[in-house]
Structure 1
Amino acid sequence: MTRRRRARGHRRPAAAAFLASGLCYAATCALGAAVATRLVDTRRFRWVHHAMYIATVSTTLLALVTGIRRDRRAALALAPALVPLAVIPYAGTHTRRHPAVALTAAPFIAAGVVISRR
């Protein structure tokens, strides 16, 4: 196995974690937008959005921990996303602040995914 292939192989777990974080974030935002625009009614299943948020935070933390050891640049790009993810539970759900805070994490999560894939 060549040195270049070996180096790529070591980055795969980190890239997968970053991709999982991005996909969870995108799914959570999509569900939130669908509920906000009344395309989907989750009154009986509010826990689904909360569970998706927990999955997003968990996979983001996993990506950071994995990235620190394997892909430091991607981890540094993703790290600021923790701030809006930590604030979102305190930004009321029936105001414009909730989606605004949630969307501030998007550039950092996207940057982490893109950098980890290189």
Structure 2
Amino acid sequence: MGDTVRAPGPPPGPWIGLASACWAANAALGASVGAGLVHTGRFRWIHHALYIATTSTTALATVASACSRSAPRRAAARALAPALLPLAALPHVGTPAQGHPRRHALAALSAAPFYATALFRARARRAR
């Protein structure tokens, strides 16, 4: 019999990866617009659609991972749940169009450690 090759841990689950990708895409678009590299003009709705996708997939990833049988995925859910707080606060902290670009960017970026930790914990092996 041959040895099987095993990944370092279970995959992070499609929802955690998707939520993280949505957040990263939205943050990249927002930063590009803020830096003047991209001008969305009449297509500003794309940033709003990505925000809705980010918030929705983050909530779904948190619930789906919390209900998982996998201990690493449950740990990832605990790490990801706090990301919902800055996402919920974003519409209330002001936008760059309202004259609050730094406040908006800081609130959006404050979710980054939660996504990174959730991805890391979802891939971690169980302690033996």
Contact 1:15 1:113 in 2 (8 A): no
The structure that is helix-richer by fraction is: 1
Letter matched to residue 17 of structure 2: L
Structure 2 segments unaligned to the other structure (5+ residues)? 1-5
Greater CA radius of gyration, 1 or 2? 2
Letter matched to residue 85 of structure 1: L
Which of 60, 85, 88 does residue 87 from structure 2 map onto?
85
Normalised by the length of structure 2, the TM-score is: 0.80
Query: After the TM superposition, which parts of structure 1 deviate over 4 Å for at least 4 consecutive aligned residues?
Result: none
Match in the other structure for 2:77? 75
Query: Where do 1:14-33 residues align within 5 Å?
Result: 15-33=13-31
1:38 aligned counterpart, secondary structure: coil
Normalised by the length of structure 1, the TM-score is: 0.86
Q: Percent identity?
A: 50
| Cα deviations by residue, 1:42-64 (Å, 9 ceiling, x for unpaired) | 11101000000001001101101
The CA RMSD measured in Å over matched residues stands at 1.5
Q: Aligned pairs, how many? A: 109
For 1:102 and 1:110, locate their aligned partners in 2 and report how far apart those are by CA, in whole Å. 14
For 2:106 and 2:83, locate their aligned partners in 1 and report how far apart those are by CA, in whole Å. 13
Match in the other structure for 2:3? none
Structure 1 segments unaligned to the other structure (5+ residues)? none
For 2:40 and 2:92, locate their aligned partners in 1 and report how far apart those are by CA, in whole Å. 20
